[in-house]
Structure 1
Amino acid sequence: MANVTVIGAQWGDEGKGKIVDWLAERADIVVRFQGGHNAGHTLVVDGKVYKLSLLPSGIVRGTLSVIGNGVVLDPWHFRDEVAKLAAQDVAITPDNLQIAETCPLILPFHRDLDGLREDASGAGKIGTTRRGIGPAYEDKVGRRAIRVCDLAHLDDLGPQLDRLLAHHDALRAGFGEAPIDRARLLADLAEIADVILPFASPVWRTLGEARAQGKRILFEGAQGVLLDVDHGTYPFVTSSNTVAGTAASGSGLGPSAPGFVLGIVKAYTTRVGSGPFPTELEDETGTRLGERGHEFGTVTGRKRRCGWFDAVLVRQSAAVSGITGIALTKLDVLDGFAELRICTGYDLDGRHYDYLPPHPNDQARVKPIYETIEGWSESTAGARSWADLPAQAIKYIRRVEELIRCPVALVSTSPERDDTILVRDPFQD
């Protein structure tokens, strides 16, 4: 059976949690392969709501879950998220959760630096979650990071701490902040080590053995392709690669790892934080989409910006990430609109674009070119087959497929996991 990789094909918040949960019941392993605890997934299982930001979504169902080496791990947040789920009767042990031994750690001064930069940026803010994700990835690339495996060798950490603190103390001095308290940092690491180390494992080996045994592996992406550090709306992006290919490097399973790539796509468009958004609606329609879709960030609670479906962006996401099929979510939010609009291209100073130009100034200035489609008055909420959908809703879906040049594999019509129309089974592809 094929592996499946689930990624967001817009700016994140597309409803990946429900889809991953729906697939996780049929998977043997669920793997997070990039990002950190800035990724929010909300699961609704038997009417009970679970909010995850670091742990793989499979953990709620007891599926073996893996945090891969491509993730940056905040050990204190990990401790708290495990405790929160334990209070909801979700048991998390080394038998159902493994953390890559080579995961870089997010440390308290990473969070400090993230916030200091945002506060000093004024109108140029990136709009980060201030959780230290970016600074932790910087230390990884700069070969300064403290990793999970280092927690078992704290007595040998001196040279690495020298390099790490020399870098960060200089940055902190520029913001008028005191140097990092080395003794306190070591004490904090010693305290948290006992929480993390029982879960530490060579996950590349676990995954390799699982693949050799023909087990189904589900890779769970965070954020969305338009936030990819290479392919997104730079610099208003996250600090990791969010495209499907990262499932290989972020897990240690190799280039054939992704399998069927399922891109999650809302039936409209949303974005949290700063950055260009060509189809954004700052009017009653945008407000209506936000209210009907309950558009608030899982991690931050920030209100999401809303707009019409942008086929140009999704087509570009599908191309750069090798998407096999899409899961179209939140179709029911469009119920009752007399007319719907889809962006099919951009105009920039009289020049037509069928892709998003790379420069942020151009991205901010493009004008969407719209196609208008008749809406529907009937409800699609809870639909579980094509027969349950209004004819105009089906026409909308088919037009989306044509414009993004990618087939629909699933349609989601509510937050409930079973309110899903299966067109093409990713695990049987």
Structure 2
Amino acid sequence: MIKNIVILGIQWGDEGKGKIVDLLSKKSNLVVRYQGGNNAGHTLLVDGEKTILHLIPSCVLYKNVIAVLGNNVVVSLKDLLSEIKLLKNKKIFIKNRLILSHSLSLIFDYHISLDKVREGKNIKQSIGTTNKGIGPVYEDKIARRAIRISDLYDISYFKKLLKKNVDYYNFQLFHFGHKEKVSYKKILDKSIFQFNQVKHMIHDVSDLLNYKIQNQEKIIFEGAQGSLLDIDHGTYPYVSSSNSTIGGVFTGTGIGIKKIDYILGVTKVYSTRVGNGPFPTEVYDDIDNYFSTIGKEFGSTTGRKRRTGWLDLVLLKRMININSLSGLCLTKLDVLDNLEEIKICVKYLNKLTQKEFSYYPSSKKDWENVIPVYKIFRGWKDCTQGLKDFKKLPKNAKKYIDFIKKFTNISIDLISTGPERDQIIFINHDLKNFISNKN
């Protein structure tokens, strides 16, 4: 019986993880976010009403599920409180339903200011970040100067840490960025005020989760971004600043690897990415317009148009192996409904040597010389939106899905056929049982 599930994206993010977390958390006890910050965005559509969350796990739409932010999540208290207020305005109250790790690192104004300076210096070489201060705060963490939320319990200690960091960043902002310095006093006062509103939420998350697992409670671990944005295993340097692959679950929560029962990888049936970096199967023509329009491919955090392309099975297989996936969830199948033909990248061609290969390019030069080699499928030209039975899918849609399954050598356990919560095909009955009853 499945008790604990990891749900992570295996592309460049925006795979539709929010909907899947929302769906599977119906009968869970806790949903735990283990990395990233408010640079992520989950768009949920329930009964026609859209809710966009950036920090708080999607489970908050269910009244009896507890949301947890682990130690490797980086948090802007201002944005966290804004999100709580947004939910409150929707009559969703999270009192006693949100837990913050005492070890999570905080984002301050100086992180955001430096992020903007760096991205604006050279647009052509920019990473394409969301300017939320995520990179700089993770740098602080590695350099051992990050301010953790528990540091604010001791105001005298916090003042010393903050003053040191403000001086450090103001030097960079003024001399490197030629920007206005941030105010130590304003940040101090604001931070203390915000901390007092959330300090009752702070706990030792590692102890809590291990206790809950020991007591057979149902837990979902929710990843932010996608595996191809992992700082170690993604398309470096065009990546996020944390581990969005499976290892981030354990370092970001303090639970052990043996505590996980099932790992679900989420992927679109085509590809998208936001920001700069390699994208072998990217399209620029009418297909790009089609994906953007029909798939509504605009970032929930930034509103930026996403780059679009065909599904890349070379990259997908790599992420399946790295994450040791138990099964796949395919999303946005219905977006392909009106296409005459559909392509899947099955290998690469080096345009200099004209040699085919199926391995992960390891250098900037290798990425620049990649040409995708496609297998072409006939489209099904029929409506799949809202279907809940695999048998009712068009014949060509089944062929497309079966090919993905055989090529990647992994089971397809869920298929999303639309944006609404209930527009889903369950193939794995253990996952269906997971939401049929609570612990």
State if a TM-score over 0.5 links the two structures. yes
Secondary structure, counterpart of 2:139 in structure 1 = helix
Offset of residue 156 of structure 1: 1.8
Q: What's the Cα RMSD here?
A: 1.5
Paired residue type of 1:248: F
Contact (CA 8 Å) 2:162, 2:188: kept in 1 or not? no
Paired residue type of 1:352: E
Paired residue type of 1:191: F
Secondary structure, counterpart of 1:25 in structure 2 = helix
Within-5 A mapping of 1:182-197: 182-197=184-199
Offset of residue 364 of structure 1: 3.0
2:420 pairs with 1:416: yes
Q: Distance in 2 between matches of 1:291 and 1:260?
A: 34
Secondary structure, counterpart of 2:123 in structure 1 = helix
Q: Deviations over 1:310-333 (max 9, x none)?
A: 111111111111111110000011
Secondary structure, counterpart of 1:44 in structure 2 = strand
Offset of residue 158 of structure 1: 4.3
**Residue of structure 1 aligned with 2:288, choices 286, 289, 294:** 286
Offset of residue 166 of structure 1: 4.3
Q: Which stretches of structure 1, 4 residues or more, deviate above 4 A after TM superposition?
A: none
Contact (CA 8 Å) 1:3, 1:427: kept in 2 or not? no
Q: Deviations over 1:222-279 (max 9, x none)?
A: 1000000001111110000000221111011122244311010101111111111111
TM (normalized to structure 1)?
Answer: 0.97
Q: Deviations over 1:349-373 (max 9, x none)?
A: 2232212202123213300001111
Q: Distance in 2 between matches of 1:316 and 1:290?
A: 26
Corresponding residue for residue 330 of structure 1? 332
Q: Distance in 2 between matches of 1:147 and 1:34?
A: 14
Paired residue type of 1:118: E
Offset of residue 171 of structure 1: 1.8
Contact (CA 8 Å) 1:229, 1:241: kept in 2 or not? yes
Q: Distance in 2 between matches of 1:245 and 1:231?
A: 11
2:193 pairs with 1:206: no
2:44 pairs with 1:39: no
Q: Distance in 2 between matches of 1:426 and 1:222?
A: 21
**Residue of structure 1 aligned with 2:321, choices 319, 322, 345:** 319
Q: Distance in 1 between matches of 2:338 and 2:187?
A: 55
Q: Distance in 2 between matches of 1:122 and 1:96?
A: 41
Contact (CA 8 Å) 1:380, 1:389: kept in 2 or not? yes
Contact (CA 8 Å) 2:35, 2:242: kept in 1 or not? yes
Secondary structure, counterpart of 1:282 in structure 2 = coil
TM (normalized to structure 2)?
Answer: 0.94
**Deviates further, 178-187 or 149-158:** 178-187
Offset of residue 153 of structure 1: 1.2
Secondary structure, counterpart of 2:322 in structure 1 = helix
Structure 1 pair 157–361 and aligned structure 2 pair: CA distance change class (3 A):
same
Contact (CA 8 Å) 2:333, 2:384: kept in 1 or not? yes
Offset of residue 179 of structure 1: 4.1
**Deviates further, 243-252 or 69-78:** 243-252
Give unmatched runs, 5+ long, in structure 2: 435-439
Q: Deviations over 1:42-74 (max 9, x none)?
A: 111222211101001111112111000010011
Q: Distance in 1 between matches of 2:295 and 2:182?
A: 43
Corresponding residue for residue 52 of structure 2? 51
Q: Deviations over 1:382-427 (max 9, x none)?
A: 1101122011101100101122222111000001111111111348
Give unmatched runs, 5+ long, in structure 1: none
Corresponding residue for residue 20 of structure 2? 19
Paired residue type of 1:402: K
Contact (CA 8 Å) 1:151, 1:197: kept in 2 or not? no
Corresponding residue for residue 217 of structure 2? 215
**Residue of structure 2 aligned with 1:225, choices 217, 227, 247:** 227
Corresponding residue for residue 370 of structure 1? 374
2:346 pairs with 1:344: yes
How many residues matched?
Answer: 428
2:181 pairs with 1:174: no
Secondary structure, counterpart of 1:169 in structure 2 = helix
Q: Distance in 2 between matches of 1:337 and 1:212?
A: 49
Q: Distance in 1 between matches of 2:160 and 2:365?
A: 43
**Deviates further, 374-383 or 224-233:** 374-383
**Residue of structure 2 aligned with 1:72, choices 69, 74, 78:** 74
Q: Distance in 2 between matches of 1:379 and 1:255?
A: 41
